[in-house]
Structure 1
């Protein structure tokens, strides 16, 4: 069955280099419908996305694979944020996953087995890998100080770096870059990013839960296998 750490079997849409999946151009009717929806529908969840953060991520099962990611952030409350993650920030940017971000207080309430799936944001922020494109550095410093104390869980649903023209296979768990050999981002990848790399002086957190970034302590990543299972049927009505 499909696994997040294995490439799917060859398909007619696998391995291409086009910027978007092959398809017919949008019709006039589709354009009219989309414009009308923007006027008549609220689209409230999307309008809550108030920040754009650009950073990098590595695959939990293969640290040699690294990608640049663009996270569009919606703040639910002081302890919880959610992000739609895109491969690029242009109008045809492909949605490749979702990240959830929690405060250190919320993270400490999670079971130990769950904590292993999360990573700490401190190194991303302090190293300047995580940036807010086109936003003045000093104005964003308070937000960076908050992000440096948070934990993230990022599921990649489209492994676009291996050439998939559509989201194929199982989702992959992603990890945050770290200042250790296995987790360091390629300098070439950083230099390719259009956004200028910067560093804002952020205080080092006093303590980081060792269950986060589990691979650093144990050299173990996580992957998903899709397996067949019996369907649980609804109980018959009395």
Structure 2
């Protein structure tokens, strides 16, 4: 299988031709791309596979806030131009989360520890500028589906999606030191110092125990792809 080499890894397929680059530029000039242009925030953090805490990845979330209670994120494996889209995360306020059915709440993770500990950062943005948004996000919950497991070397987004969770400081959910060090060195930051500067950030009045399901139950969620009976199109009368 042919593959192109990006800055962070490989992707199946041949390199783009000059003609294709010209076509892309032309389309970019003529089309509005309005939804894409709404992504105004870049977050670098870490995610763990909910069914295997040993598998941990650095993630780059490009965030579009739709309203005070809801954000949507395109998640990449790097912030370089050759970054691969590896999933999507939805972020909701604690107010919205509390109204979800119990079974749905189990699929979501809290963000308070991730932000408070300095794992969640906005690269190249001064903390003073990021602080108001961090105060809001510390009270939110996220649901992150990973659709491309690049950490195991996949050249394509193959197989079933995986539900991801947030690091929470528990022994099983700590971010591995080399992974954190690599990220901090890349951006010239100290997660420890960032954490110290966030002492006044507060989370929800109570982090709902139905979130972060693995903390209480020691279990994650995995998807199995099964064959299902297809519903036929109902003819119009």
Aligned to 1:210: 209
* 1:5-154 equivalence runs, <5 A: 19-154=9-144
Aligned to 2:231: 232
Distance (Å, rounded) in 2 between the aligned partners of 1:83 and 1:37: 24
Task: Determine if contact 2:148/2:154 at 8 Å carries over to the other structure.
Answer: yes
Task: Determine if contact 2:48/2:56 at 8 Å carries over to the other structure.
Answer: yes
For 1:39-96, what per-residue CA distance to the aligned partner results, in whole angstroms no more than 9, with x for missing partners? 1100011000000000000001001110000000001111100000000110000110
TM-score, normalization by structure 2: 0.91
Pairwise CA distance, 1:103: 0.4
* Residues 1:185 and 2:175 aligned together: yes
Query: Aligned-residue CA RMSD in angstroms?
Result: 1.7
Task: Determine if contact 1:13/1:166 at 8 Å carries over to the other structure.
Answer: no
SS in 2 for 1:98: strand
* Residues 1:169 and 2:159 aligned together: yes
Pairwise CA distance, 1:28: 2.2
Task: Determine if contact 2:60/2:76 at 8 Å carries over to the other structure.
Answer: yes
For 1:106-150, what per-residue CA distance to the aligned partner results, in whole angstroms no more than 9, with x for missing partners? 111110000000000000000000000000011111111111000
| Structure 1: stretches of 5+ with no match in the other structure | 1-11
Distance (Å, rounded) in 1 between the aligned partners of 2:176 and 2:60: 17
Distance (Å, rounded) in 1 between the aligned partners of 2:43 and 2:121: 6
Structure with a larger share of its residues in helix:
2
SS in 2 for 1:58: strand
Question: Relative to structure 2, which stretch is displaced further, 111-120 or 21-30?
Answer: 21-30
Distance (Å, rounded) in 1 between the aligned partners of 2:102 and 2:63: 26
| Structure 2: stretches of 5+ with no match in the other structure | none
Q: Size of the alignment, in residue pairs?
A: 226
Pairwise CA distance, 1:13: 7.7
SS in 2 for 1:237: coil
TM-score, normalization by structure 1: 0.91
For 1:139-188, what per-residue CA distance to the aligned partner results, in whole angstroms no more than 9, with x for missing partners? 11111111100000000001111111111100000000011111111111
1:155 to 141, 145, 168: 145
Task: Determine if contact 1:85/1:98 at 8 Å carries over to the other structure.
Answer: yes
SS in 1 for 2:10: coil
